[in-house]
Structure 1
Amino acid sequence: MKQEFWTPAGLSKQEALLALAHKRQQQIPAGYRGIGDYHSGAYECDYVSPYTKSAHNLDADIMFILQDWSSDAFLRLPINEQVVELGYTPELPTNKNLIALLNAHFGVSLSDTFGTNLFPFIKPGNLSATIPARELKHAALEYAIPQIMLISPKLVICFGVSVYNAIRRGLGVSPVRRLADAIESPMTISGIRVWAQSHPGGLGRAGRNQGGVDRVTRDWSLMARSLNA
């Protein structure tokens, strides 16, 4: 790798993650809001993403990266105490499917893994609103790749081609065009395998399984075999 990534000096993993959280709190890009801007800071946390509250094994073999944590429209709703506690919404199909896939293919729960979001700020609009590729690349450089280096898992799962391409761009590697290409093109960062998978939400699974072919199970089985090889 040619890039120089932020690396802590003399800090434990927990201290380094807290430093990244403080950076995220202080460096909110124009046009976005911070996690602490809602409900008197109830959703704020000591991680880059609140999702890490439930997936915070600092010595995990498996790390996963979802695109972004929430949206302005969602966080303006009445406070969700379950999200405050867990850092995610258990009833969302994305989270149900993610938990099921981790258990089925690796025999692990969320608490056995390290999970985060690539883009750690709050986008305007609803949960399906898009984020420009340049913003995702910047977030990869400033937050996602440093977390990968800190945790140093065996495997990093990037959900969606946009997340995978942001990591590639952050590393100075050309992006791939399609999700299928991303899934077939895992890469290695300092001995860490980085693998793309379809988004675990309903639309992501349906898109990957077009034509009634269960490609998601095949994709995850291949990834699991590779990790255990």
Structure 2
Amino acid sequence: MSKRRRIAELARARRLDCLPPHRGFAEFHGGIYDQHDYVVPWTISAHRVNSPVMIIGQDWNSADNLGGPTNQEQADLGQIPWLPSNINLQARLRHHFGMAFHDTYATDLFVFAKPGRMTARIPFDHLRYCAERYAVPQIEILRPRIAVCLGVSTYNAIRAHLKRPRVKLRDALQEFEPVVIGKTNLVVVPHTGAWGNQIANAGEYWDRAAALL
């Protein structure tokens, strides 16, 4: 079975899944945000199944945000390209990997719309649940050279599923060997949002990831 078909099957499994109090993407505006065979809508803009680079964000959207007026750009692209976090991510990819966002495969760890605003926290057990059912299976299907976690919560959720202890972001640079899933190196970089972009040595994390390509 092809990679695309296996990802589509995983997307169908996600649509049948539920994890209260979170909601499915199809529950908003007649399902306008969930019309593709991807595990999360972010993949619409970055779906190279044979890319050496997978990008794993923490979560795609919140119920308050999706419940507002329909955003056609977000429905069409799976993202809002001009948001600072996306601009910063694109800049990091160009500078450190020599790649555009659309040259990668992008997904999110958490595959539901969390209640509240985009800044709402997600229980760690729920992140781990999605790591086991969706993030790690995507890595195993696509087999990229590196899977880059945006933020330490995403990284730790996958580590927890793999029976690895949690780490602090500042300690991740001191790991002698990356976590490996099959032949994929799992690495962490600071989130490209406002907080992560202020970390003085953020580029070191990206350089470390690039060295594994």
TM-score, length-normalised on structure 1?
0.89
Structure 2, unpaired ranges of 5+: none
- Conserved 8 A contact 1:64-1:116: yes
Aligned to 2:20: 30
Q: Which amino acid aligns with 1:132?
A: P
Q: CA deviation at 1:91?
A: 1.7
Which residue does the alignment assign to 2:90?
99
User: Where in structure 2 are the equivalents of 1:61-76 lying within 5 Å?
Assistant: 61-76=52-67
Q: Equivalences for 1:63-212 in 2 at 5 Å?
A: 63-176=54-167, 178-185=168-175, 186-206=178-198, 208-209=199-200
Shift of 1:223: 2.2
The correspondence for 1:217, drawn from 187, 192, 203, is 203
Letter in 2 for 1:190: G
Shift of 1:170: 1.1
* Contact 2:86–2:192 (8 Å) recurs in 1: yes
Contact (CA 8 Å) 1:49, 1:69: kept in 2 or not? yes
Q: Distance in 1 between matches of 2:196 and 2:75?
A: 26
Question: Which residue of structure 1 lines up, in the alignment, with residue 10 of structure 2?
Answer: 20
Question: Structure 1, residues 47-82: CA drift from partner, whole Å, max 9, x if none?
Answer: 111010011000010001000000011111111111
Change (3 A) 1:183 1:43: farther
Task: Give TM-score, length-normalised by structure 2.
Answer: 0.95
| Runs of at least 4 residues off by over 3 Å | none
In 2, the alpha carbon distance for the partners of 1:114 and 1:183 equals 24
Q: Helix, strand or coil: the match of 1:94? A: helix
User: Which moved further from structure 2: 119-128 or 189-198?
Assistant: 189-198
* Paired position in structure 1 for 2:212: 227
Q: Are the equivalent residues in 2 in contact too, given 1:62–1:153 (CA < 8 A)? A: yes
1:17 deviates by 0.7
Percent of paired sites with the same residue: 39
C-alpha separation in 2, matches of 1:83 and 1:112: 19
Alignment gaps of 5+ in structure 1: 1-10, 210-214
Partner Cα distance (1:67, 1:184) in 2:
23
Distance 1:55 1:91 in 2: 15
Determine the C-alpha separation between the residues in 1 that align with 2:202 and 2:60.
23
- Structure 1 residue matching 2:212: 3-state secondary structure: helix
Across the aligned residues of Structure 1 and Structure 2, the Cα RMSD in angstroms comes to 1.1
